[in-house]
Amino acid sequence: MLTLALPKGRLAEESIELMLERGWLSGRPDPDSKELIFKDAKGKVRILLVRSQDVATYVEQNSADAGIVGWDVLLEGGYDLLLPLDLGIGKCRLSVAAPKGWSLSSGERKVRVATKYPNIAKEFFLKKGINCEVIKLYGSIELAPLVGLSDCIVDLVSTGATLKANNLEEIEIIMESTARLIFNRSSLYTKRAEIGEFLDSFSALEKQL
């Protein structure tokens, strides 16, 4: 049995749909259940439902054999993992956003940036030659510039509705992100047959993208 770490929320739903289509699951986990471990009746996969930022850690530390996680999370964390496939789901972008009228050339000597992606944000502003102070937050990032905590934010954008609702606008896209299928390095040897079968069932998907 493979242990697969999935991020809670929309990406987990899209991932489960893919596994249903490929015969790895016989049904969906109960959405009303508070259990964080789901064992499918087919006995092929055990699913761990964790925070998106924790998926790669569970896989890297061998608590899960594989996982599905956004490219943004992987780049931010610099994990030691095998990254064989882009699944093409969970599409979004990591962008700089700020109150209307603000721009990257607004003239501040040091730009204050609120984000949960400090490494990516620092690298982006460094390449721009802009001195920045990164303020790490874990949620409600859009609130920071509204109350004067930061000048701008670096955060994921999907539809842009949350930015619009808070009178913020997208300034520049840093990167596009989709979900990647990742594997623990030691699991590749201890569960070679299972991982090979799992990987083959998703390889056809990548060729379609």
The model's pLDDT over 72-112, given as tens digits with 9 standing for 90+, comes to 999 999 899 988 789 999 999 999 999 998 988 766 678 99
Residues 147 and 48 in one domain: no
Residues 126 and 57 in one domain: no
Residues 81 and 99 in one domain: no
Residues 27 and 63 in one domain: yes
Task: Tell me the residue range of the domain where 81 lies.
Answer: 2-90+177-205
Residues 167 and 127 in one domain: yes
CATH value at residue 62: 3.40.190.10
Residues 19 and 51 in one domain: yes
Residues 171 and 115 in one domain: yes
pLDDT tens-digit readout, 153-172: 999 998 889 899 999 999 99
Rounded to an integer, the average pLDDT of 12-32 is 86
Q: 208: pLDDT confidence band, cut at 50, 70 and 90?
A: very low
Residues 131 and 119 in one domain: yes
Residues 192 and 148 in one domain: no
Residues 22 and 124 in one domain: no
Percent of the chain with pLDDT over 90: 57
Whether pLDDT at 205 is above 60? no
Residues 146 and 190 in one domain: no
- Report the pLDDT value the prediction gives residue 209, as an integer from 0 to 100: 44
Rounded to an integer, the average pLDDT of 62-76 is 94
Helix/strand/coil (H, E, C) string of the chain?
A: CEEEEEECCHHHHHHHHHHHHCCCCCCCCCCCCCCCEEECCCCCEEEEEECHHHHHHHHHCCCCCEEEEEHHHHHHHCCCCEEEEECCCCCEEEEEEEECCCCCCCCCCCEEEEECCHHHHHHHHHHCCCCEEEEECCCCCCHHHHCCCCCEEEEEECCCHHHHHCCEEEEEEEEEECEEEEECCCHHHHCHHHHHHHHHHHHHHHHHC
Residues 64 and 121 in one domain: no
Domain count, the chain: 2
Residue with more model confidence, 28 or 146: 146
